[in-house]
Structure 1
Amino acid sequence: MVPDLVFRLVADPDVLDPDYLAIALASNAARWQIDEAMRGSSGQYKISQADVRDLRVPRIPLDEQRRIVAAHAAFKRRIGALERALRKLRVAEQGLSAEALSVGQGWERVHLESVAAVAAGVTLGSEPVGDGTIELPYLRVANVLDSRIDTADVKRVRILSAQFERYALRPGDLLLTEGGDLDKLGRGAVWDGRIESCLHQNHVFRVRCGDRLLPDFLALYTASSEGRAYFLRVGKQTTNLASINSTQVKKMPVPVPPLEEQQRLLGPVRAARKRVAVVEGQIAKLRTVQRAVVEDLLTGAEAQTPAA
């Protein structure tokens, strides 16, 4: 059974390889046609069966189709191998993180507000206009992932110029998410300053450490099972949703070992994260090359309605 919102395309095997059809329909040219044909509102968009029938993809000889499928599959195999290696590296990184915190039974513990400044970000919805304002990029919950910042899609907001310092991020600021789904509660990463004059939204807390606490060490703790347990315990919860406020973040008990010990414990974790980043970069590069190669192979052929 096929759901009513899903179309089944049956390729004529004499003229069309089904794997090639799937690749062609995922190409930039096909996606442009689909985007143009979509109808709807309020985020609910559909494409009609007639529009699907009218989609045009390059119709080329079967041997050429299979060559494209083989090239695509070779990339998928290589990417799959790297993704398996990446999963193992992430497990190793998690183990090192847990090990780093397991030795600290005698560490001093204090409220976070005594060793760091916690601040909420800019509130959206009532942007100022006119003189004395400035439009800048800002980070939202979608940008703050577990132990990393994703800046592939960064929005912009207009604020009063006088408010810049209040909401601006600095390299080394720890960003913690206010909530949403349970897995987003207190999720955090350290900002590296890759975007100049960047702000943060009010649903993302900025934690700026003082001279007794390293941001990476604090991030290690907030992401630990103990840190997660604190957020779940104090957070306001409904069905599958939860949130924390700035007061709860400020009152979070955090360990404060000597700075030298923080640096020592972070060494293996940082090395593991570098290995993870290298493999992530390799995967991203391969995916980019894969798309470029497939698009190049598809380019130049006459677009015709597929026999399906």
Structure 2
Amino acid sequence: MRGDLPAGWRCVSLGEAGKWLSGGTPSTSNDVYWGGDIPWISAASLKEFRVTDSDRRVTRLGAENGSRMVEKGAVLFVVRGMSLKSEFRIGVAERPVAFGQDCKALIAADGIDPHFLAHAIQARTPSILAMVEETSHGTGRLDTTRLQELEIGVPPMREQRRIVAARAAVEWRIEMLERTRGKLAVVEKAVSADSMTRGSQAWSAKSLGTVAAVEAGVTLGSEPTGDGTVELPYLRVANVLDGRIDTTDVKTIRVLRSQYERYALRVGDLLLTEGGDLDKLGRGAVWDGRIKHCLHQNHIFRVRCGSQLSPDFLALYTSSPAGRAYFQSVGKQTTNLASINSTQVKNMPIPVPPREEQEGILAPVRTLRSRIASVDRLIGKLRAVQDGLLEDWLSGRLRTP
């Protein structure tokens, strides 16, 4: 890195970039240490770049006995925890805070802006995650000695502050879009719920199994091998969320070719989860076919509608208060989880208005969802632009405006 920096920049190791501090946990059995007004930051609570609060707080006495307190401007990051297996959490304290032993604090050295320092460290996330080791308890751990050897380029203070301000401007635009998305989501939820109340008394009700085919998916376990088998992606419960499908992490499974049609998904299939928290039973979304030759796990029901029923209308109903109430009424509750079976899904009473009326009900919902999707795409583009610009700014390849 040293030879790649522009004139006036200097190469600094993270060990030289500031003062490193370790945190701790005050005794949880001593009430005088907890319940104060000082946020206590842990690996679990460090989720935002701007660190302003935490779900747990300590008193001044607690911060001085077993923990560590830092002032506004301290850079905080996670060095131990489950989150390190997939992400590197870092932020800047916007107020005095205390922090636990799963985090480290870095007090920026003279000539280094703390927000610039945090951005520069965050930009090295791939290298940092490559250093993560797994402990005997299965959590991730960062060797701070290796972390301190990482190098960053540090421009003059004026350029540092321009980089911080430029990134903040893009972040502000993203935050405005996220607020817009939140408002649209509230309206969409209200319109969706209201659509199920209009005309529902006049609609004929039928058992879901009479107007759609309900099937469970492939069972995980011993997989077949040899000729006549194929390895394919499949959706599990973690992929099927309330109103959307998340395919950022999709597993694969090997099945017999002869079983493909039995478990294969088609565009328009409604996917419903079999188990989980009681109030989340039957959550689901309509499959859009984004992955070719995709299967589904046995803990997800595939509902394939016939000609009388639109899958989008069915999804609207299953997520409505009436649909939720049905799943909760028939769900079997165990100690930790609740579940439904295919017979209960097939027996679910479904209102079946004429298809034209279904499409009329769906029209305003689809309009709102289309607007939300447009905002999501714009947010995604801005995030990508922000990451690219920040990388160029931090390397000196591009000067800030």
The TM-score, its normalising length taken from structure 2, stands at 0.71
Return closer, same or farther for 1:283/1:41 CA change in 2, 3 Å cut-off.
Answer: farther
Structure 2 CA distance for aligned equivalents of residues 38 and 2 of structure 1: 22
Are 2:151 and 1:79 equivalent residues in the alignment?
no
Q: Does 1:277 align with 2:373?
A: yes
The aligned residue for residue 90 of structure 1 is: 185
* Match 1:169 to one of 258, 265, 286: 265
1:249 partner amino acid: V
The answer to whether the Cα contact below 8 Å between 2:235 and 2:294 also exists between their aligned partners in 1 is: yes
1:240: how far off?
Answer: 5.8
Quote how far apart the aligned CAs of 1:83 are. Answer: 0.5
CA shift in 2, pair 1:239/1:17, >3 Å: farther
CA contact (8 A) 1:236 1:244 kept: yes
SS in 1 for 2:255: strand
Deviations 1:45-90 (A, max 9, x none): 1113333433332233222222221121111100100000001111
Contact 1:30 1:57 in 2 (8 A): no
Q: Is the 8 A contact 2:279 2:328 kept in 1?
A: no
The alignment partner of 1:148 has SS state of coil
CA displacement at 1:289 relative to structure 2: 1.0
**Would you tell me which structure has more helix in proportion to its own residues?**
1
Alpha-carbon distance in 1 for matches of 2:375, 2:101: 40
Q: 2:346 aligns with which of 250, 254, 265?
A: 250
Change (3 A) 1:261 1:291: same
Q: Does 1:57 align with 2:145?
A: no
Letter in structure 1 aligned against 2:197: S
Question: Which of 184-193 and 233-242 deviates more?
Answer: 233-242
Structure 2 segments unaligned to the other structure (5+ residues): 1-97
Hey, what's the Cα distance between the residues in 2 that align with 1:82 and 1:228?
Answer: 30
Check 1:94–1:133 CA distance in 2 against 1; reply closer, same or farther (3 A cut). same
Q: Is the 8 A contact 1:30 1:55 kept in 2?
A: no
The C-alpha deviation readout for 1:87-118, integer Å capped at 9, x for no partner, is: 11111111211121111112111211111111
Q: Which residue of 1 aligns with 2:107?
A: 10
CA contact (8 A) 1:24 1:30 kept: no
SS at match of 1:149: coil
Matching residue's letter, 1:204: I
- The offset of 1:231, in angstroms, is 1.2
Amino acid at match of 2:195: A
Match of 2:233 among 137, 140, 150: 137
1:79-228 residue pairs with structure 2 within 5 A?
A: 79-103=174-198, 104-182=200-278, 184-228=280-324
Letter in 1 for 2:344: Q
Q: Which runs of 5+ in 1 are unaligned?
A: 302-308
Instruction: Assess if the C-alpha contact under 8 Å between 1:117 and 1:207 holds in 2.
Output: yes
**1:293 corresponding residue in structure 2:** 389
Deviation at 1:41, TM superposition (A): 4.8
Letter in 2 for 1:44: T
CA contact (8 A) 1:30 1:56 kept: no
Matched with 1:66 is: 161
Which whole-Å deviations, capped at 9, do the CAs of 1:194-250 have from their partners, x for residues lacking one? Answer: 221111111111000111111000000001011111112211224563222212111
Which one-letter code corresponds to 1:2 in the other structure? Answer: F
Deviations 1:119-168 (A, max 9, x none): 11111221111100011111122221222222222221111000000000
- Sequence identity percentage: 59
Are the equivalent residues in 1 in contact too, given 2:331–2:339 (CA < 8 A)?
Answer: yes
Q: Which has the larger radius of gyration?
A: 2
- What is the match of residue 304 of structure 1? none
Alpha-carbon displacement from aligned partner over 1:257-281 (angstroms, at most 9, x marks no partner): 1111111111111111111111111
Contact conserved, 2:269 with 2:304, CA < 8 A, in 1? yes
Aligned pairs, how many?
299
More strand by share: 2
Query: CA 1:98/1:39 → structure 2, altered by over 3 Å: closer, same or farther?
Result: closer
Q: Structure 1 residues 18 and 240 mapped into 2: Cα distance closer, same or farther (>3 Å)?
A: farther
Contact 2:278-2:331 within 8 A present in 1 as well: no
Q: CA RMSD in A?
A: 1.8
CA distance, structure 2, for counterparts of residue 117 and residue 33 of structure 1 = 48
Which amino acid in structure 2 is aligned with residue 10 of structure 1? Answer: I
Q: TM-score, normalised by structure 1?
A: 0.91
Look up the SS of the partner of 1:233 in the other structure.
helix
